[in-house]
Amino acid sequence: MGYRVVVVGATGNVGREMLNILAERQFPADEVVVLASRKSMGTEVSFGDTTLTTKDLDTFDFTGYDIAFFAVGSDATKKYAPVAAKQGCVVIDNSSLYRYDPDVPLVVPEVNPEAVEGYTKKNIIANPNCSTAQMVVALKPLHDRAKIKRVVVSTYQSVSGSGKDAIDELWNQTKGVYVPGQEVAPKAYPKQIAFNVIPHIDVFMDSGDTKEEWKMVAETKKIVDPSIKVTATCVRVPVFVGHSESINVEFEDFLDEDEARDILREAPGCMVIDKREDGGYVTPIECVGDFATFISRIRQDSTIDNGLNMWVVSDNLRKGAALNAVQIAETLGARCLKKG
């Protein structure tokens, strides 16, 4: 017997990607229901070879359904996720609402699969921030070998992380640069994103960090190890899909770059493409549509004891969001629900 599955926010970028991945990975679902806000009710979305019509989230009864993937903002999640959980449906939430709740597991299946077993406290599991997810996939196998003390990460995050309006803004601004009279003023971002980079993702905090940077710190500690020190600078770049990260890692013990490369080649979810030649690395455009977290430019950092540098790239709509959510469901099924 398979699962009865609900996708909330099915008309958005992440919701549509969740449906694609559920179909691609042949998730054992007997029924898939797609929900959206009332204004989007009746919209058709694809699920494998079939077309599904969205139903109204506001009136939906989750009773009898096993898993609900939430791909909506924190406000809608705050209203509807407790309803679904109370009605017996396990919520896998892609928003930031529950990530820092001590009673809600924050899970990257390649890193802390055992954490899903804590779902019973609230019937909710949180999906991490997209930039955190790919980073911890690369860090955890190295941490197991040499124990990480400190991480310095600079991100290069695509506009798809901000949603459809931001994708449209990059597209229209890029065209407008070349067509007099068709210039597009910033709306999704505080400054022009076309042909530019913006060192500002989410809101500024009193510390001077942005909320995105704080998320990477807090989530890495919760998922991997609370003793790891993390400092982040998060930057939006004019790329449609695919987040990149330059990561500097300081370990307690020495870790040779060749051994690190071998460890990552064997690690779940990792793909090492690291040749010291022109094009011997992965860029965002090459990772789109792929499940893996790609790791390149692995090299010793001679300025500190026990340091390594690396370049990490992943499709943020997949590993950073939809894929990780589906993998959580697969892990939940294997460890706890025992269906399919």
Binding residues for phosphate: 99
Q: Check if 234 is active-site.
A: no
Alpha-carbon torsion (20, 21, 24, 26), positive or negative: negative
How many CB atoms lie under 10 A from the CB of residue 73? Answer: 15
- Which of 130, 234, 270, 287 is an active site residue? 130
User: Which residues contribute to the annotated binding site?
Assistant: 11-14, 39-40, 99, 157, 160-161, 236, 316
Question: Which candidate, 165, 235, 153, 240, places its Cα nearest to that of 199?
Answer: 235
Tell me how far apart the terminal alpha carbons of the chain are, to the nearest angstrom. 5
User: Regarding beta strands 3-8 and 29-36, do their DSSP bridges make them parallel or antiparallel, or are they unpaired?
Assistant: parallel
What's the Cα-to-Cα distance from 231 to each of 9, 151, 215, 221, 332, rounded to whole Å? 32, 6, 10, 12, 31
Q: Check if 243 is active-site.
A: yes
**Residue found under tokens 């699969």:** 113
What's the Cα-to-Cα distance from 74 to each of 79, 80, 81, 153, 209, rounded to whole Å? 9, 10, 10, 26, 21
CB of 304 within 8 A of CB of 233? no
What is the C-alpha to C-alpha distance for residues 18 and 13, in angstroms, rounded to an integer?
9
The one-character DSSP state at 117 is G
- Which of 89, 143, 234, 243 is an active site residue? 243
Query: Catalytic amino acids?
Result: 130, 243
